[in-house]
Amino acid sequence: MAPPPCRTAAPLSGRTAAPPSGIPRWAARAAGAPPGTGADLAGLTVAVVGLGYVGLPTALGLWSAGATVVGIDISDRRLRAVRAGDVDLLPAQRAALACAGSTDQFRLTTDAAALRTADAVIVCVPTPVTEDRLPDTAALRAACATVVGHAAEGQLIVLTSTSHVGTTRELLTEPLAARGLVAEENVLVAFAPERIDPGNQRHMPEHTPRVVGGTGPLSTRAAAFLLRSTASHVHQVADPETAEMAKLWENVFRAVNIALANELADACLHLGLAPVPVIEAAATKPYGFMPFRPGPGAGGHCIPCDPHYLLGQLRRDGPATPVVSAAMTALHERPARIARTAAGLLAADGIPAGRARVLVLGVAYKEGVADVRESPALRILGLLAAQGADVRYSDPYVPSVTVDSTVLRSEPRPHDAHGEWDLVIVHTVHPGTDLTWLDTVPRVLDTRSPKGPPLTPVAAS
C-alpha cells in the first residue's frame, strides 16, 4: 500500500543509540529491512539530481517513506514550477508535493554543494538523442561529473538514467576510484533504471517493480533498500551492466512491436480490413501474444530515444541489428507517412495542401500529460505547414507549441469551427475528450485506428 502523502518524520525504528555512519550504516539498515516490506528512510538525507518526470516522483516517493529529500536541478525555472505545483503529476503525487513543500524535509536548490551532506544520491537526468538520432549524453556526463566531484565517503550513489551498457562504471565507478573512493569500500554505486509511466494511474511508481544492479553485493542491497518504498518489488541483478541492458531490452522490445503494429495495420488497410478488430481477435490468444496498436509514431524519451543508445554502442564494434535498426527507421518516418496520407486525402477531393485548413487534435505524445517531447504531432504539423497548409492544433493540456520557429496556440473550442476544417488529424485523445463533433467534419484521419487508405510510403532518401 502506498504511504499517505503527508507524513511526520519518525525516529529510526526504535533505535536508542546513534546509528553507525557511512557504509556500515547502509549495511545495518539494509540488513534490518525484511524482504518485501516498505523501507523506513527516517534519518536519511537523499539528494535527487534532476527533477523532471522521473526525478520529481522519485523524490516524492522517498520523502513519503521518511527521508529528508534535497532536490537539485540546474534550472531555476524548473524549481519555480515545482514550488508552484505547475508540473505534470498524478493526483496523489500532486497531493504529496503540496505536503512535502510545506516541510523542512523537502528542499529544492540549484547548489550542487548540497550533495556533500547526503547519505544517498540518485541521478535522474534526461538522455535524449540529437537531430541525427545519435545518443546525447551531455547532461548525463555533466550530472555524473558533478556528483563525483562532491561525493563523500560512505555515500550510496544510484544512477537511473537510461544509457549504454557500461555507463555506470564509466561515469561513476571509475571517476570515483580516481578520487580514492572505491566502490564497495568507500562508497556504494548501483544502477536502477527508472520505470515511470507518466499520466497512468495503473502504473504508479509504488505499484511497479524495479531492477537494481550494484557494483557489488553491498551496493545492490543498499540500493534495493533505498528504492523499496518507491516500487512494488525490487529485483536484484548481479551488476550494473545487467540492469542497464535490461532497460534497453524493455524499450527495444516496445519499439520493435510498435513498428510492427504500424506495418501490419497498413497491410490490413491494403487488404480492406480494419486493423483494430484484427488486433482484438489476435489478443484473445492467452499465450505468446501481446497486443500493440498502430499510431502516428512514438514520442517521449523512451521509445524514440533509448534504442539508439544500444544501436550507437553496437555500431562501433558489435553485431548487426537489422531488426532494431529497421524498426527505429520506420518509427522515425511514421509522421512523414501520416503527413503524406493527409495531403493525399485532401488531393483526392481536389483540395491542394497549400489551401487547406488542417487541425491536429492532441499534440502531447500520450494521453493525460502535457509532455510534447519527441511528439510525432510536431513533425506532422511542420511537414504540412511546409506544404503551405494552414495548420492549427487543439490540446487542453498544451497551451502552446513551437513548430519550426513558429509559435502555435491551442484552439480552445475546435468544434465551434468544425465547418472550417478541411481535415482533422486525430493524434492524442485525452481523457474526457468529446469526439462526437468529428462526424460533421468532411475528412478525418485517425492515426490511432486508421480506417482509410494505406498510409502513403515515404520516398527513399
Task: Report the C-alpha gap between 453 and 316 in whole angstroms.
Answer: 40
Q: Compute CA distances 54 → 104, 141, 318, whole Å.
A: 22, 17, 30
**Local structure of 157: helix, strand or coil:** strand
Task: Report the C-alpha gap between 168 and 165 in whole angstroms.
Answer: 8
Q: Which of 144, 268, 302, 305 is catalytic?
A: 302
Query: Which set of grid coordinates corresponds to residue 460?
Result: 527513399
Where does residue 260 rank: exposed (0-12), middle (13-18), buried (19+ CB within 10 A)? Answer: middle
| Element of type H or E holding 31 | helix 22-31
Task: Report the C-alpha gap between 112 and 216 in whole angstroms.
Answer: 27
Task: Report the C-alpha gap between 125 and 87 in whole angstroms.
Answer: 16
**Local structure of 403: helix, strand or coil:** strand
> Which distant-in-sequence residues (6+ apart) come within 8 Å of 263 by Cβ?
330
Q: Compute CA distances 296 → 87, 190, 356, 394, 432, whole Å.
A: 26, 36, 21, 16, 21
Query: Which set of grid coordinates corresponds to residue 37?
Result: 516490506
> Do 122 and 58 contact (CB within 8 A), yes or no?
yes
Task: Report the C-alpha gap between 269 and 292 in whole angstroms.
Answer: 17
- Tell me if residue 305 is catalytic: no
Residue 188 pairs in a beta bridge with 156
Query: Which set of grid coordinates corresponds to residue 247?
Result: 532497460
Query: Which set of grid coordinates corresponds to residue 327?
Result: 524498426
> Do 251 and 175 contact (CB within 8 A), yes or no?
no
Task: Report the C-alpha gap between 159 and 172 in whole angstroms.
Answer: 9
Sign of the dihedral defined by the CA atoms of residues 85, 90, 96, 99, in that order = positive
Question: What is the dihedral angle through the alpha carbons of 193, 48, 89, 200, rounded to the nearest 10 degrees?
Answer: 10
Residues belonging to the active site:
302
